Chains A and B, each alone.
Chain A
Amino acid sequence: QITLKESGPTLVKPTQTLTLTCTFSGFSLSTGGVGVGWIRQPPGKALEWLALIFWDDDKRYSPSLKTRLTITRDTSKNQVVLTMTNMDPVDTATYYCARWLTVTTMDSWGQGTLVTVSS
């Protein structure tokens, strides 16, 4: 059974750096073609793809957020970490992690974690 779960702070202050961890089970990020990525959804708004890391450490970022994002993996812990710098209230959203199978398929999502940016 494939599971993904996001963890991290629920509240961050403007200008701070957000660090989120995705802990997964039921698959390995060492397997060819597998990737884990991040998506966010502001309250009442659409989904937005943020970043993705593949089994070979290939990393992809949303062009509009590239300068603020870093994605890393710890294969031994089955974790993927996303950091987002210079947080702003507009970054308030539910952040999801998800599994990719090559570039063609996103099949499994975590439950999401709500992050609020406020002073």
Chain B
Amino acid sequence: QTVVTQEPSLTVSPGGTVTLTCASSTGAVTSAYYPNWFQQKPGQAPGALIYSTSNKHSWTPARFSGSLLGGKAALTLSGVQPEDEAEYYCLLYYDGVWVFGGGTKLTVL
């Protein structure tokens, strides 16, 4: 059973920078896992932010960026806004199946 691990919670100050990570139990995450990132606010469906590691959708704010960092997929928020407080999920592709991470609850305080 493949497990994808994210930080359970992180706190950041408004205007600050924070990096969320996404690790795989199978080893280092590479671009072949096509990491996707999603944002979910309470009571809402998730919304897509990043695909294929670092590509932004047309609606993704510029302050969000994706990368590979130290064997993990990473989502960096620069210049955090209060409205960025949400749950963030990564999704990894494993040769025919997909696995979500457990989510990171980001608090802006």
Contact = CB atoms under 8 A, between A and B. Distances in A.
Q: Do A and B bind each other?
A: yes
A52 B40 CA distance: 21
Interface string A36-67: 01010000001111001000000011111000
B93 interface: yes
Interface residues of A, number: 23
Contacts of B46: 47, 96, 109
Given A46-B103, A64-B1, A107 B48 contact: yes
Interface stretch (B19-27, B63-71, B76-84, B94-102): B94-102
Nearest to A58: B96
Contact of A96 (B45, B48, B93): B45
Nearest to B91: A106
Contact of B96 (A60, A96, A106): A60
Contact of A106 (B36, B40, B97, B102): B36
Contacts of A108: 48
Majority DSSP secondary structure for residues of A touching B: strand
Nearest to B90: A47
Contacts of A109: 45-48
A111 interface: yes
A60 to B, nearest CB: 6
A52 to B, nearest CB: 7
Contacts of B101: 46
Given A64-B1, A103-B34, A109-B46, 6 more contacts: A60-B97, A60-B98, A62-B97, A96-B45, A104-B52, A109-B45
In order of increasing CB-CB distance, the 8 nearest A-B pairs are A105-B51, A49-B98, A104-B34, A47-B100, A109-B45, A104-B52, A46-B102, A46-B103
